[in-house]
């Protein structure tokens, strides 16, 4: 015996189950934009830009000779500087906490205060580059680099430009 199912056996009518596609209205067609994600992305990009700008501006140290401080653009108080000069003879004082010395270049001298001991081959009458900030006429250094020792100059005369007595520290050429 064969039994065929009809709509009455299933419990639904053919009219109640409509599988034809619906018409889409323009309002339903638009996709929702993920506004919270966009706002977070904009904030992250802005914060990254601020951090990058701060990093780059703080990483810039203007390079100046002692005689260019106050005379060359970028070599003023308030800027982070790298100042080149020669340590004046008889000017180095170390109290165990700070090292104070005078540095000269081009006939101009500036007092330097350095927190700590410069170490290495730091001594009088040698060219140095001091990193720091000029405040109230005193250069407050936080890093000292010795440029070239006299032995280097003697062994490599072609590589080191001799600035003459105007660049040497006070009384170093005597």
Give the range among 15-29, 77-91, 96-110 with minimum mean pLDDT. 15-29
Could you read off the pLDDT of 32-75 as tens digits, one per residue?
Answer: 778 888 899 999 999 988 888 777 655 566 788 999 988 887 78
Q: Give 16 or 136, the one with higher predicted confidence.
A: 136
Share of the chain above pLDDT 70, in %: 66
Q: Could you tell me which of 146, 149, 85 has the C-alpha nearest to residue 112?
A: 85
10: enclosing H helix or E strand: helix 7-10
Question: Domain residues of the chain, as ranges?
Answer: 26-59, 62-166
Q: How far apart (Å, rounded) are the C-alpha atoms in residues 68 and 53?
A: 27
Q: DSSP labels for 69-137?
A: TTTSTT-STTSEEEEEEEEPTT--EE-SSEEEEEEEETTEEEEEEEES---TT--TTSEEEEEEEEETT
Q: What are the C-alpha distances in Å from 34 to residues 16, 37, 38, 40? A: 37, 5, 6, 10
- pTM here is 0.56
Q: Give 147 or 114, the one with higher predicted confidence.
A: 114
Q: Cα 119 to chain center, whole Å?
A: 25
Tell me which CATH code domain 62-166 carries: 2.40.50.140
Q: Could you give phi then psi for residue 110, rounded to 5 degrees? A: -135, 140
Q: Cα 115 to chain center, whole Å?
A: 21
């Amino acid at each position: 015996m064969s039994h065929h199912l009809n709509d009455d056996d299933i419990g639904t009518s053919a009219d109640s189950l409509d599988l034809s596609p619906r018409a889409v209205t323009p309002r339903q067609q638009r996709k929702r934009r993920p506004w919270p994600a966009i706002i977070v992305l904009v904030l992250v990009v802005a914060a990254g830009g601020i951090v990058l700008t701060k990093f780059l501006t703080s990483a810039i140290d203007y390079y100046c000779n002692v005689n260019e401080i106050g005379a060359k653009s970028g070599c003023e108080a308030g800027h982070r500087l790298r100042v080149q000069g020669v340590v004046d003879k008889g000017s180095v004082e170390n109290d165990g906490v700070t090292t104070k010395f005078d540095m000269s270049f081009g006939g101009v001298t500036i007092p330097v205060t350095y927190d700590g001991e410069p170490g290495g081959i730091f001594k009088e009458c040698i060219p140095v580059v001091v990193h720091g900030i000029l405040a109230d006429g005193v250069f407050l250094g936080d890093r000292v680099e010795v440029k070239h020792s006299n032995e280097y100059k003697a062994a490599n005369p072609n590589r080191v430009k001799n600035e003459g007595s105007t660049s040497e520290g006070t009384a170093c050429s005597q």
